[in-house]
Structure 1
Amino acid sequence: MLRYFYILVFFVYGIGLQAQSTKKEVLFTVAEEPVYAEEFIRIFNKNLDLVKDESQKDVDSYLKLFINYKLKIKEAQAKGLDTMPTYVRELENYKSQLAKNYLTDTKVTDALVEEAYKRMVTEVKASHILIRIDENASPQDTLQVYNELLKLRERIKKEGFDAVQKEMHNGQTVYAENLGYFSAFKMVYEFENAAYNTKIGDISMPFKTRFGYHIVIVEDERPARGERTVAHIMVANKRDDKLESAATRIQEIYKKIQQGESFETLAKQFSEDKSSAENGGKLAPFSGGQLSSTEFEDIAFSLKEKGDVSKPFESGFGWHIIKLYDKTEVADFKSMKPELEARVKRDTRSQLINTSIVNKLKERYKVAENTAALAYFQSLLNESYYMASWSLPQDFTASKTLVVIDKKTVTYNDFGQYLFKNQRKASAKKPFGVIVNEAYSNFLNAELMQYQEDNLENESEDFANIVTEYRDGLLLFDLMENEIWNASKTDSVALKAYYDANKNNYNWNTRIDADVASSSQKRTIKSVKKMLDAGQNPKAIKEALNTKDQVNVIFTSGIMDMEHQALTSDIAFEKGVSKIYQHNDAFVVANIKAVLPKAPKTYDEAKGQIISDYQVVKEEKWLKDLEQKYPIQVNETVFTKLKANLKSK
């Protein structure tokens, strides 16, 4: 990370003043290698808002900095730093991560994000019937299930859901369930779609998810109720205690709460929900429709203020008392958009994005497919594929062309190796034709996405600029570390010689050896001053004025110069107890035990500053050498026009 931040000033991509008059014009050459005006303008214009050094905002000064930067990059490449394995690996990792922001369909993603938000703010209440069926069921079996659901759909219209539920639900092959309220991301996307696209009071047509075929009955809609964090005390209806009922027990606990006893303590003592009792009854945050008890949920959402406690009430689990800890309403779209976008990309609905991307890539790259070849691959599979022991035959025709993606040829061998590596994922129930077709679809999609990623620098100027900036930033960091920073720190002979030649630059200013007291209360600091005048030390003063529960005075002791944060700028450097000063919204008084006059710093005392100064000198000399090694030729005509263009903006 340090590498990237080091060159932030030079490598921030952004808008540029790319006037047609300077586009692709050579600004200067480094050893006859051109550097274009548009690159300089782009980086200068962005950095103008970032740098505080006014000299870097001057075009002439900035050109010098830019030339120095290009000299360093040239030297790094000459030294082969761009071929080092660590450099190549870090750059490739960065490119791969960055590419994810470009390998997407923004239009489809935005539509899915907006759809998800609309569903997040509206909860649907629904029931459903699911008939389980194997994903690879025959068309005849699939049709049978579909028709069965059509019959159940008609029965529900006439008899009502409850009657059909009692007869049909077996919890194995048929599920007839009341789902309560739910919103986006709580169900698989196909189910969510069916629920939100069915009107209140209607029954959907049969539809498929990975679990089987469903029909969904939509009963109600309501605005989403946000999220709540509560604690509860529960007394189960089925209790070992035969002497008192659950209702009596919960009322006794409620009276204790009304008497002012701690809810959390009572939960630890008496709540029969063992999973939450030890934590004072506190539950994980939940949103509408997330709990299996609508009674519990309704009471929780009815509490208005943090700390409110409900009256005792009964649910299917027993009797409860709830305390509200926190409430969060559904945020606005702008606030939620980043989170929703991330969830959309993790959710199964992301397949819609991928499908859109793949279709566009097929059109962009004019993909030429040899789908007839899939029959050949199907003929190669045998039973060993299901057991992950299959291999390509010796007479496999590896070199034939399977697909052409723009300028890339994909061979039989490429797909054959893909089949070989993915055989562990094969289901014994899937026919070989299905296995090959699904594998080919996934393989082609992956190839298209990889081809786009490999060519992003050619297709996206924005991506190319960022990668160039990062690539050069890594090189610059490695070069500076090797040539300047490390060398300056380890060359003790050169550092000592530099110190000896420049001793007059390293001096201590006048300093004091002092104990400085600080307090927010003036009366306290007055007491401190009296005690200091009486000769008491900081330890005794702190013991007298501070208590176990309250700190009234803090001391800072040691050698300090005028810049020390504990000192006010107008304090007099005179031996003895000072007057009281107001400083940083507090009051201070100092006991100055000694005044230390200006004095030269030893080598060890000044070493940090010596290293920093020596690095500057060393870099200046090194840059002069680089200018000799890689001659610079500035195109003054282009630079004059560039300056005029920048100053007019």
Structure 2
Amino acid sequence: MKLNFYFTLIFSLLILNVNAQSASDDVLFTVGDEPVYASEFLRVYNKNLDLVQDESQKDVDTYLELFTNYKLKLKEANTLGLNTKPSYLRELSNYKKQLAKNYMTDTKVTDALVEEAYERISYDINASHILVKVDENASPQDTLNAYNGIIKLRERALKEGFEKVREEVHNGQTIYGEKLGYFSGFKMVYKFENIAFNTNVGDISQPFRTQFGYHIVNVIDKRKSRGERTVAHIMVVEKPNDSLAEKSEVRIQEIYKKLNQGEDFESLAKQFSDDKNSAPKGGKLAPFSGGQISVQEFEDVAFGLENIGDVSKPFKTNFGWHIVKLYGKKPISEFEAIKPELIEKVKRDGRSKLIDEALTKKLKKRYNITDTQPALSYFESIFTDDYFKKTWKLPSDFTAEKPLIKIGKKQLSFGDFGNYLLKTQRTQTQKGSYKSVISDKYESFLSENVIAYHEDNLEDENEDFAHIVNEYRDGLLLFELMETTIWNVAKTDSINIQEYFNKNKDKYVLPKRIDAVIASSPKQKTLKKVSELLEKKMNLEQIKALVNSNDKIEVIFTSGIFDSNHQALPKDFNFVKGISKIYNHNDTFVLVQVKDVLPVSPKSFEEAKGLVISDYQTFKEENWVKELSEKYKVEINQEALKKVKAQINNP
């Protein structure tokens, strides 16, 4: 998604479409022959007011210009027929389906499950289990054998001890006896999690079934979650193409020695950490909880630090070498802070089945659907054992057109349910009485259809859903317009981009820089000695050998090209060749040997290409909007605008 689109989309998503306007509502302006009402503008302005960072855009006239430009683009998109493109319609359809999931729930049931989930993730359970495997669609005899087997194993475990029985019976094929270690909510299938969290520590659960077979669980321990950690780190990465760079392991060990000598962690992070995001903040990272960090080694070290202020030994990850300092420990986040995340997890988890059942019940009530269905006796009469062999067919005299049930305005027939039975016989069905099989299939059929009908009619039944879909519809349409008119054209318009660069070369320059060596030390006296040695033309390795020792690192050198904004340089540093004075910077002392001063110089087209294309897109868009304003005349109702300003200034 193009960067320029973010404003376009955010702006459009915040606009509430107006389905109907009262006759007395003032027209604020027209775009071509289409009116835009003052009430719409006021809603958009007030809704966006707190989100606007640029104070100038809070000015009504400035905001009105943005709003009219938005309407001009939308007018052009519809004129070009972009709203009929298959890609646009497909994307909108996918979005509607995704959005609908948020509205296809029973709120009370969802809230209860979310609260339960929060309680579960607040604790870790240490457990072992024994599983007797049996397929979900196993025969009644195989199912009974598995059940009897787990009953006997539980009786043995109660007498002989769970661990003894677990170790003896595990064969890795039909019976599994496993130590599961600590786990929290969402780590196991819901049925298993439910039993584990509802079994007391030291107890063995009653037998229960999951899709894997029959289990018994022994809960060994229950503890509070490890919660959240706040840490800082110093990271050193390998620089294979830099001949002057030290080995990352050597450098991190030098930094670690400086820490052990009493130097400040934050100061060292500012000077030497290769994590450019955290270095200016003394290496400090945003708080994180277990499982949130993708690098397991880093998380283990962070949670292994016990006391605030503790510092780890150097350790390696895929990103480089690290030293970590603990700043804060706190239990799991507050419920409200992680509620949205929990809602999404609940909807993806086995818990979702309970939500679907509750939703079906709620929708049946809304559409006045009773639990009784007399027609099922007819389907029982035409049912045979061929169904379980997947060869069953509807009889030749099947009354397909006969009405079965009505959901809202949609009439379902005998044929709809008959075809559902034909389709679902392809999936394995456990043999049972004809009545129970037909009843189960009908409940699934009814649930699918009542939920599908509700989803298809959400825009008519839920005003909030309708507004959001309309907002996205406009935003997506503008994306299609910008992509075809500005972004893609600007990318391929190489001659005009080159011409734009030639006319604006003074905008694309490299700043003044230095080729230098920066020496850092907590002791001013050390840098005085370094300065003397540099004056004598001694190389860095010789200086390090004289100043540092195996047990003590007094100075660290950083070489490279630096501009005035580099974190290692003092703000008032003077770009002059030679050896600088000693500065107090980042809570330490620094000395700079400037080998060369690189003046401000123009960037080549290749060096500036990304920025040039972005600027050219902006330039092209501004001219394009002017053309649109000529194509679709915008007329502003000044009287209506006065009323709008008065209402904004005197809410």
TM-score interval for Structure 1 and Structure 2 normalised by the shorter chain: 0.5 to 0.7
Q: Does the residue aligned with 2:360 lie in a helix, a strand or coil? A: helix
Matched residues, number: 521
Unaligned runs of 5+ in 2: 163-168, 170-181, 228-289, 291-304, 308-328
The structure-2 alpha-carbon separation of the partners of 1:528 and 1:403, relative to structure 1 and needing over 3 Å to count, comes to farther
Q: Does residue 589 in structure 1 map to residue 592 in structure 2?
A: yes
Kept after mapping to 1: 8 A contact 2:45/2:63: yes
Kept after mapping to 2: 8 A contact 1:22/1:642: no
The structure-2 alpha-carbon separation of the partners of 1:184 and 1:528, relative to structure 1 and needing over 3 Å to count, comes to closer
Q: What is the match of residue 44 of structure 1?
A: 45
**1:527 CA drift (Å):** 4.7
Q: Does residue 554 in structure 1 map to residue 558 in structure 2?
A: yes
Kept after mapping to 1: 8 A contact 2:29/2:635: yes
Amino acid at match of 1:417: N
Amino acid at match of 1:556: G
Q: What is the match of residue 628 of structure 1?
A: 630
424, 439, 442: which one pairs with 2:441? 439
Q: What is the match of residue 541 of structure 1?
A: 540
**1:430 CA drift (Å):** 2.0
Deviations 1:520-555 (A, max 9, x none): 31455545544444445xxx3256428898671101
Kept after mapping to 1: 8 A contact 2:88/2:476: yes
**1:635 CA drift (Å):** 4.2
Deviations 1:201-234 (A, max 9, x none): xxx9x999789xx9x9xx9999866579xxxxxx
**1:61 CA drift (Å):** 0.9
Deviations 1:318-366 (A, max 9, x none): xxxxxxxxxx998476277567656654565544432332222223234
**1:571 CA drift (Å):** 3.4
Q: What is the match of residue 86 of structure 2?
A: 85
Kept after mapping to 1: 8 A contact 2:579/2:591: no
Please give the alpha-carbon distance, in whole angstroms, between the structure 2 residues aligned to 1:525 and 1:478: 60
Deviations 1:152-189 (A, max 9, x none): xxxx9xxxx979x9xxxxx9xxxxxxxxx999889998
**1:621 CA drift (Å):** 1.6
Kept after mapping to 2: 8 A contact 1:415/1:440: yes
Q: What is the match of residue 32 of structure 2?
A: 31
Q: Does the residue aligned with 1:468 lie in a helix, a strand or coil? A: helix
Q: What is the match of residue 67 of structure 2?
A: 66
Please give the alpha-carbon distance, in whole angstroms, between the structure 2 residues aligned to 1:185 and 1:507: 52
Q: Does the residue aligned with 2:574 lie in a helix, a strand or coil? A: coil
Q: Does the residue aligned with 1:372 lie in a helix, a strand or coil? A: coil
The structure-2 alpha-carbon separation of the partners of 1:543 and 1:467, relative to structure 1 and needing over 3 Å to count, comes to farther
395, 402, 405: which one pairs with 1:403? 405
480, 483, 490: which one pairs with 1:481? 483
Percent of aligned positions that are identical: 44
**1:81 CA drift (Å):** 3.1
**1:471 CA drift (Å):** 3.1
Amino acid at match of 2:90: R
Please give the alpha-carbon distance, in whole angstroms, between the structure 2 residues aligned to 1:415 and 1:184: 39
Please give the alpha-carbon distance, in whole angstroms, between the structure 2 residues aligned to 1:103 and 1:38: 31
The structure-2 alpha-carbon separation of the partners of 1:447 and 1:570, relative to structure 1 and needing over 3 Å to count, comes to same
The structure-2 alpha-carbon separation of the partners of 1:621 and 1:447, relative to structure 1 and needing over 3 Å to count, comes to same
Q: Does residue 520 in structure 1 map to residue 501 in structure 2?
A: no
Q: Does the residue aligned with 1:403 lie in a helix, a strand or coil? A: strand
| Aligned residue runs from structure 1 range 326-475, under 5 A | 331=332, 334=335, 341=343, 344-345=346-347, 350-367=352-369, 371-392=373-394, 396-475=398-477
Amino acid at match of 1:72: K
The structure-2 alpha-carbon separation of the partners of 1:111 and 1:124, relative to structure 1 and needing over 3 Å to count, comes to farther
Please give the alpha-carbon distance, in whole angstroms, between the structure 2 residues aligned to 1:542 and 1:15: 67
Q: What is the match of residue 111 of structure 2?
A: 110
Q: What is the match of residue 646 of structure 1?
A: 648
CA RMSD of aligned residues (A): 5.8
Amino acid at match of 2:517: A
613, 616, 619: which one pairs with 2:615? 613
The structure-2 alpha-carbon separation of the partners of 1:34 and 1:404, relative to structure 1 and needing over 3 Å to count, comes to farther
**1:623 CA drift (Å):** 0.8
Q: What is the match of residue 57 of structure 1?
A: 58
Kept after mapping to 1: 8 A contact 2:517/2:592: yes
Q: Does the residue aligned with 1:553 lie in a helix, a strand or coil? A: strand
Amino acid at match of 1:30: V
Kept after mapping to 1: 8 A contact 2:16/2:40: no
**1:53 CA drift (Å):** 1.8
The structure-2 alpha-carbon separation of the partners of 1:222 and 1:330, relative to structure 1 and needing over 3 Å to count, comes to farther
Kept after mapping to 2: 8 A contact 1:457/1:464: yes
Kept after mapping to 2: 8 A contact 1:388/1:424: yes
Amino acid at match of 1:93: N
Please give the alpha-carbon distance, in whole angstroms, between the structure 2 residues aligned to 1:336 and 1:192: 20
Amino acid at match of 2:557: V
The structure-2 alpha-carbon separation of the partners of 1:37 and 1:456, relative to structure 1 and needing over 3 Å to count, comes to farther
Kept after mapping to 1: 8 A contact 2:576/2:594: no
Kept after mapping to 2: 8 A contact 1:488/1:495: yes
Please give the alpha-carbon distance, in whole angstroms, between the structure 1 residues aligned to 2:457 and 2:531: 73
Deviations 1:74-109 (A, max 9, x none): 322333333333333333333322222221122222
Please give the alpha-carbon distance, in whole angstroms, between the structure 1 residues aligned to 2:464 and 2:517: 56
Please give the alpha-carbon distance, in whole angstroms, between the structure 2 residues aligned to 1:624 and 1:556: 47
Please give the alpha-carbon distance, in whole angstroms, between the structure 1 residues aligned to 2:642 and 2:87: 41
Kept after mapping to 2: 8 A contact 1:121/1:330: no
Please give the alpha-carbon distance, in whole angstroms, between the structure 1 residues aligned to 2:633 and 2:31: 6
Greater radius of gyration (CA): 1
